[in-house]
Structure formats: C-alpha cells, structure tokens
Amino acid sequence: MKINNYGTSGINPYKRQMNKLENTNKTTTPSADKVEISTTAKEMQHVNSIAVERQEKVEQLKIQVENGSYKVNAQTVANKLVNFYKI
C-alpha cells in the first residue's frame, strides 16, 4: 500500500486544470459577430409601391368613415371570422 504520493501529480490537480483554461482563453481571439443580409431581403426593404398603394387605400377609407359613407359588409366579416377560428 502506498501512503505518500511522490511528485507533483498529487499536489493540486485542479490548479493544473485552471492553468490550462487560462492559457486557452489567452490564446483564443474573440471573433466578431457578422450579419449578412441577402439580396432578396434588401429588395423587400425597398418595396415602396405597395406602401404607397396601402397609404392611398387608408386615406380613402378615412375619408369614407368621416363622411359616413363607409358600409361594412356583415356577411364578409362573419365569413372571415369563421375561417380564422376554424383553423
């Protein structure tokens, strides 16, 4: 039976592990994050024709609501609600 431990292996094995971790952290360089936007996404950002058409429609609806000439089709609203909750 061996009672005494000779050499440095029994002194503090955790210290050696910490030294290894410190050395690996020093040698690795932090990498910078990089974001790439696809050309399709860039094209989607520059779609102004849809935004213009939508704005025109909103303005027309505002005018109709202010004048009181905007009529709601109850059947269409009911069908859309049923289809929405059906799924």
pLDDT for 67-76, tens place per residue? 999 999 999 9
User: 12 CB contacts (<8 Å, ≥6 apart)?
Assistant: none
Domain map of the chain by residue range? 47-86
Provide the token pair at 14: 């955790």
Whole-prediction pTM value? Answer: 0.38
**Residue ranges of the alpha helices (H) in 1-87?**
13-27, 39-45, 49-67, 74-86
User: 34 CB contacts (<8 Å, ≥6 apart)?
Assistant: none
Q: What is the pLDDT of residue 20?
A: 77
pLDDT for 8-66, tens place per residue? 555 666 777 777 777 776 655 567 888 898 888 888 777 677 788 899 999 999 999 99
